[in-house]
Structure 1
Amino acid sequence: MPVSQLPPPKFWGILEYKPQWSLTPLGWVILLSIITLIMIVIATSIQPFLRVSRPIQADVMVLEGWVNDAVIKGAVAEFKAKNYQLMITTGTPISRGQQFSSYKTLAELAAATAIAWGLDPQSVVAVPTPVVKIDRTAASAIAVKQWLSQSELGVKAINLYSYDVHTRRSWFIFQQVLEPEIKVGAIAHPSRDYDVKQWWKSSAGAKSVILETIGYCYARLIWRNQLEIDLKTEKT
């Protein structure tokens, strides 16, 4: 349509008419097919992506203390099989039932559980995470870094042992805090709570994958090691 034939602007010049291209029925079919294909690819690949296992050569294993007993048992088996020299457990203060337990933090409880599963007490050390409202994984990583720097062990590499789809986010955060001084590998303990190939068919799988996807995106796009800066500021 020639410009001279276009309707004049209306509503005091706020609106104007412009001809435009739009999708045909065939175009909509192709677009929806592409979107569906992308969704299928994401659904089938996101769970293995989050449940990453990239172990490296290391003598030290760091175990996230919030995990359940089955995961700790798996960590102990991995520790013995690969001849690690030291296991570091992390974890925040226990939020309930402290008066009934001699363990005040998840780090201490995880260490005791690992010993109960057959680990030498001399090979385990609990490194509690300070009380924080957000970024608990980052606070754990910082606590481990500070402990290692004060230990004079000369550790150059660790493997982080975590649970299922939480592993990718924890691995990324530990890398940001510890590297390049200390290399970080990752080992994911598999989940038995849902079918990993069809995670969207169970509430446990859907909840885990969706929440950890959001958490990982937050860590990648928003979190920038700000917690370490805040802790350094508080100490000065």
Structure 2
Amino acid sequence: MSYFFGLVVRRERWTLSLRGTLLASFLIVVLAFTAFWRAYPFLAVNHPIHGDVLVLEGWVPIYTLNQVADAFRNGHYSKLLIIRTFDVDERKSREMQATLVNRGLPATSVETVYHPAVRKDRTYHAALAAKNWLGDHERPLGSIDVVTVGSHARRSRLLFQKAFGKTAAVGIIPLDDAAYDSQHWWRTSEGVREVIGESIAYVYARFFFAWN
């Protein structure tokens, strides 16, 4: 029905009742709480394949290297590749390698790989550097495991798998991050920044990153 020479039209429309509004609000709160509660376990996925090679992202803190050494021994790997990125100086790379050897890893099993200074998509280019090194040294590429810090794990596995493609299956091992309590990450600013930042970064890598 129209009024005022057709300038105003009366139309019927469906809308939520009070009960429907309350139910919808409740469901939104439940979904938000579930996503909030499960964010860290989702990001810090732990799924090693136990191949022959363990790849370590070279920016991880020195204090995590005890965990790396344990992972290497427990996984019975023959080679550990430390991927040194543009923002990791050579001194730290040498310190990491020496620390791992002091933790019982054979010196001949630890290699440091440097890739060109790339400020964007660091993890993806680190994965390409690892792939190229393994190819140049004629290492078998059936499977590898990547070790990185906690909430970065799922994104690292995704980017390494995209870089390696069908040439290798990629497993992942997350390291405990002493900067915050992973079970209660929302209680500290470090935890909030890390988990929310990694959540956004994972969505970008999963849906918007253009693979080369």
Do they superpose with TM above 0.5? yes
Match of 1:112 in 2: 98
Q: Secondary structure at the match of 2:166?
A: coil
CA 1:108/1:179 → structure 2, altered by over 3 Å: closer, same or farther? farther
The Cα shift of 1:44 comes to: 1.4
Partners of 2:166 and 2:137 in 1: CA distance: 18
Q: Secondary structure at the match of 1:45?
A: helix
Q: Once the two structures are superposed, what CA deviation does each residue of 1:93-138 show, in whole Å capped at 9, x if it has no partner?
A: 346xx6xxxx26x655533332243322101011112111210001
* Equivalent residue for 2:76, pick from 75, 78, 83: 83
The Cα shift of 1:17 comes to: 5.0
Structure 1 unaligned blocks of 5 or more: 227-236
Does residue 24 of structure 2 align to residue 31 of structure 1?
A: yes
* Equivalent residue for 1:180, pick from 153, 166, 169: 166
Does residue 164 of structure 2 align to residue 171 of structure 1?
A: no
Structure 2 unaligned blocks of 5 or more: none
Match of 1:206 in 2: 192
Partners of 1:27 and 1:84 in 2: CA distance: 57
Question: What one-letter code is carried by the residue in structure 2 that aligns with 1:21?
Answer: W
Instruction: Give the alignment's TM-score, normalised by structure 2.
Output: 0.90
Question: What one-letter code is carried by the residue in structure 1 that aligns with 2:42?
Answer: F
CA 1:47/1:8 → structure 2, altered by over 3 Å: closer, same or farther? farther
Partners of 1:8 and 1:161 in 2: CA distance: 72
Question: What one-letter code is carried by the residue in structure 2 that aligns with 1:113?
Answer: T
The Cα shift of 1:5 comes to: 4.6
Q: Secondary structure at the match of 2:159?
A: helix
Q: Secondary structure at the match of 2:117?
A: coil
Q: Once the two structures are superposed, what CA deviation does each residue of 1:112-166 show, in whole Å capped at 9, x if it has no partner?
A: 3322433221010111121112100011000011111110122321110111000
Partners of 1:206 and 1:28 in 2: CA distance: 30
Match of 2:110 in 1: 124
CA 1:64/1:5 → structure 2, altered by over 3 Å: closer, same or farther? same
Match of 1:197 in 2: 183
Does residue 146 of structure 2 align to residue 153 of structure 1?
A: no
Runs of 4+ in 1 over 6 A off after TM superposition: none
CA 1:94/1:27 → structure 2, altered by over 3 Å: closer, same or farther? closer
Question: What one-letter code is carried by the residue in structure 1 that aligns with 2:183?
Answer: K
Q: Once the two structures are superposed, what CA deviation does each residue of 1:55-100 show, in whole Å capped at 9, x if it has no partner?
A: 11312100011001122221111112222110000121346xx6xx
Partners of 1:137 and 1:115 in 2: CA distance: 25
Instruction: Give the alignment's TM-score, normalised by structure 1.
Output: 0.82
Identity, % of aligned positions:
30
> Which protein shows a greater Rg?
1
Q: 8 Å contact 2:50–2:77 — kept in the other structure?
A: no
Equivalent residue runs for 1:208-227 within 5 Å: 208-226=194-212
The total of aligned residue pairs comes to 212
Match of 1:229 in 2: none
Q: CA RMSD in A?
A: 2.1
Q: 8 Å contact 1:129–1:136 — kept in the other structure?
A: no
